[in-house]
Amino acid sequence: MAEQYATFKTDVDGAVLTVTFDFPPVNIQGIPMLDDLNRLADEMEANRAIKVIVFQSAHPEIFIAHADTNFLKDMSTEAVSRDSVDLLYLQTTLERISKLPQATIAKIEGFARGGGHEFALACDMRFAARGKAKFMQMEVGMGILPCGGGASRMARQAGLGRALEIILSARDFDADEAEAYGTINRALDADKIGEYVGALAKRIACFPSESINSCKQAVYASIDRPIQDALREEAYWLYQATSKTPAIKRFTAADASGFQNDLENQRNFQDAVIAIQEIQ
């Protein structure tokens, strides 16, 4: 990694980049962190060597804290029309993270409240440590609303009723509750989360970068579209993948070897899909 960042450290292991937030005293989500995330996006958007990004924290109690009140206090008190409203810096930054071509994983082992929770929601996958992770959207109590994509992404993850329960209650909820709500993929014991996320990241990193990106874009495009439009998006991204990956070579080799008709291969497809990566 060529860039140096003020609010986090980066480490590369093969095709996996680990980003460790380390911005004392509490990993506050201010302009410095948003600037760093945009610089990271600049570097990652054209990078096909990195296939997975894992976000974690060096702080023993905090993943990412809420948005910095220092810039929130400067928000306008004047209402605007829908036609004239501009997206917020927090919104555009987290949308860039959401749209990165890499698979993004939030490994949450501390508090993720307000903008910190919204950052996690902008990642592709979220895993949280039992006994350590806590989530909250407190904005209603401050007189505003979640404005880093929280209101929008929460409803897509958890459904209307649960999204409103989380947002309007402004209370902490833990990893097991988050799993039940659907805002994280799963809750894991604190001594198991590192192993699980590490293995998942390395497995995803075995696959072609263009295939990973195509899968992401097709899934995101399908969330709120009519089924016919969503199916067109799937078809579009299918051809983006086959034009840039060895997919056809792999199908051809599998067909020639009688792969799909072998019962043992069917029983062990999880391992076979890794082995087939050797065909380039």
The pLDDT tens digits for 90-129 are 999 999 999 999 999 999 999 999 999 999 999 999 999 9
Q: Which long-range contacts (CB under 8 A, 24 or more apart) does 176-184 make?
A: 176/130, 178/126, 178/128, 178/133, 178/135, 179/128, 181/157, 182/157, 182/158, 183/121, 183/126, 183/135, 183/154, 183/157, 183/158, 184/108, 184/120, 184/126, 184/127, 184/128
Task: With a cut of 80, say whether residue 77 has pLDDT above it.
Answer: no
Domain boundaries, the chain: 8-204, 209-278
**CATH number for the domain whose boundaries are 8-204:** 3.90.226.10
For 88-201, strand residue ranges (E) read 103-108, 111-113, 125-129, 134-136, 173-174, 186-188
- Give residue 196's pLDDT band: very low, low, confident or very high (50, 70, 90): very high
Task: With a cut of 90, say whether residue 207 has pLDDT above it.
Answer: yes
The pLDDT tens digits for 115-170 are 999 999 999 999 999 999 999 999 998 888 888 888 889 888 899 999 999 999 99
d(CA 209, CA 216): 11
Task: With a cut of 90, say whether residue 269 has pLDDT above it.
Answer: no
